[in-house]
Amino acid sequence: MKHALALVLLYAGFALLAWHQVPDWPFGYDEADYMFAASLGMRANYTDTPTMPMAEFVRAGRDSAHRSDLSSAIRGANDIIFYRHWHGPLYLDWLLAMTRFTTDPHVLRGLQLMFPVLGGLVIYAGCLRLLTWPAAVLSTALYLWSEAVLRSPELAPHQLFALCCLAALFLLAWIMVTGSRRAWYGALAFTAVAFCTLEVAFVLVITLLVCGHLKRRELRADLRLAAASAGLFLGVVLIVWPGAVLKLSFLKAYAFMAYLALFRTHPWGTDMSVWQVWAYRFAQSPVEWVIIAAGIVALAFVRSEVRRKLLPFALFGVLMILAVFKVNAIDPRYMLPFIPALHVVAGSTLAELSWPGRFRMPAIAGLCMILFAARWYSLAARPLGHGEHEKAVLAWVREHQLGDKRLLVPQAELPMLHYYFPRATVVGYRDEASLRAAQAQGQFAATLYPNQP
């Protein structure tokens, strides 16, 4: 009975907080590309067809004289991997299934909430199995009521990736307790699925290998186990993403991320420094981050058994933060790869402290109420916009009957216009220099300027 009541309260709080966080404006930059990839169909997504051959991709990247045109060249070829933004196909498989029923932006974004709903259940059930009820309640509240979850309903694979990682990490935590081979194979399968979702899954692979090494005696690690593990991982990847192996598509993801980091100015949409971005994240969720910090400190004061169970989460969280530390993007979804693991660590350690007498559950309930109130106030103080600019741009193109013409537009608006007007030839520019160069080279039916449809 207490579990049913706890889950009702946790998910009621989630529903109240998430109710007004699902935008209804037209699909923007990333979303428009994902929707265009979905429009190419299941076969294109599953087989990575069409896509630029690896040799040609490497040659284009090495050609420094035309490196700035790499995105335009790939976009012009309808490269399916490019339109997935170099991620694996698993999220697009889900999106393809949903778009059979609707392409309404508000509905599709609302359906994204199914991933945190499932993630909350994984955390609650996992903490109950490994730790205690208070740990399950506080960890789930931290996750469901977090900035990263509530402000990331847009079309993107990060919520799905977080769900896969949580499942794998709880199985690894069970391995740290029991050394179960069945749990090892389960964690391996979820790691392979995560690999087919987002390229930063290599952090989960490292975490898996470290935990496997630590429990090698209990797992009875030998060449047979190594071969079976490699076969299972490869088999899952071949089933979900055959192009990763047959076309080496996953290598393109890492190559393009390196290209963004080395050759593109502000590739993640902001000119803020890394430290400014982290300060911004703290400012949006000070109570959440204070609880996380307190939980990390509390690791030193809980039983060694608890620390052993939480080792996979702590290791994964630290490694993932190091992996994405310099990604200076303020969008909350960029915290989803690491922050759910920190929620589990913080919620579990604070709940597992040696609370005096009967103070444990009242203290946990008090923390949850403070967290909910702070999140409610934070979201109310920063209401979502209405996408007026995006709506105005699309309306302007329609009114002037430019849907099949050659247009010169800001790069940030290119994917949206490309998706909504597939018959148009849309050329993007990034700054004044590229704008003047494009105008000098070609004739355009219209030129759109930033914030001026």
Per-residue pLDDT, 264: 63
Torsions phi, psi of 447, nearest 5? Answer: -120, 125
Q: Which of 34-43, 154-163, 438-447 has the lowest mean pLDDT?
A: 438-447
Using the predicted structure, report yes or no on whether residue 250 has a pLDDT greater than 90: no
Using the predicted structure, report yes or no on whether residue 35 has a pLDDT greater than 90: yes
Nearest alpha-carbon partner for 322 in 250, 274, 272: 274
Per-residue pLDDT, 68: 52
* pLDDT confidence tier of residue 122, bands split at 50, 70 and 90: very high
Q: 270: which residues sit within 8 A by CB, 6+ positions away?
A: 277, 328, 329, 330
Per-residue pLDDT, 178: 94
Using the predicted structure, report yes or no on whether residue 266 has a pLDDT greater than 70: no
Using the predicted structure, report yes or no on whether residue 65 has a pLDDT greater than 60: no
- Distance, in Å, from the CA atom of 129 to the CA atom of 373, rounded to the nearest integer, reads 29
* DSSP one-letter code for 27: P
* pLDDT confidence tier of residue 310, bands split at 50, 70 and 90: very high
Using the predicted structure, report yes or no on whether residue 283 has a pLDDT greater than 80: yes
> Which carries the bigger pLDDT value, residue 24 or residue 442?
24
Per-residue pLDDT, 327: 84
* pLDDT confidence tier of residue 127, bands split at 50, 70 and 90: very high
Query: Average pLDDT for residues 180-191, to the nearest whole number?
Result: 96
pLDDT (tens digit per residue) in 90-113: 999 999 999 999 999 999 999 999
Per-residue pLDDT, 71: 62
**Please, what is the average pLDDT of the chain?**
90
Using the predicted structure, report yes or no on whether residue 370 has a pLDDT greater than 90: yes
Using the predicted structure, report yes or no on whether residue 349 has a pLDDT greater than 60: yes
* pLDDT confidence tier of residue 146, bands split at 50, 70 and 90: very high
Query: Average pLDDT for residues 320-330, to the nearest whole number?
Result: 89
- Distance, in Å, from the CA atom of 85 to the CA atom of 256, rounded to the nearest integer, reads 9
Nearest alpha-carbon partner for 395 in 365, 377, 417: 417
- Distance, in Å, from the CA atom of 425 to the CA atom of 294, rounded to the nearest integer, reads 53
- Distance, in Å, from the CA atom of 248 to the CA atom of 254, rounded to the nearest integer, reads 11
Hey, where are the domains in the chain?
Answer: 2-24+110-381, 387-453
Query: Average pLDDT for residues 82-94, to the nearest whole number?
Result: 92
Structure tokens at 160: 């799905």
Query: Average pLDDT for residues 365-391, to the nearest whole number?
Result: 92
Per-residue pLDDT, 269: 63
* pLDDT confidence tier of residue 61, bands split at 50, 70 and 90: low
Nearest alpha-carbon partner for 334 in 127, 76, 30: 30
Per-residue pLDDT, 29: 85
Per-residue pLDDT, 74: 67
Per-residue pLDDT, 63: 62
Using the predicted structure, report yes or no on whether residue 76 has a pLDDT greater than 80: no
Q: Is the dihedral of CA 264, 270, 276, 279 positive or negative?
A: negative
Using the predicted structure, report yes or no on whether residue 64 has a pLDDT greater than 60: no
Query: Average pLDDT for residues 230-251, to the nearest whole number?
Result: 92
Would you say 169 and 370 are in contact if contact means Cβ atoms under 8 Å apart?
A: no
- Distance, in Å, from the CA atom of 416 to the CA atom of 411, rounded to the nearest integer, reads 10
- Distance, in Å, from the CA atom of 118 to the CA atom of 124, rounded to the nearest integer, reads 10
Using the predicted structure, report yes or no on whether residue 218 has a pLDDT greater than 70: yes
Per-residue pLDDT, 69: 57
Per-residue pLDDT, 268: 64
Using the predicted structure, report yes or no on whether residue 5 has a pLDDT greater than 90: yes
Per-residue pLDDT, 453: 60
pLDDT (tens digit per residue) in 224-234: 999 999 999 99
* pLDDT confidence tier of residue 307, bands split at 50, 70 and 90: very high
Structure tokens at 352: 């597992």
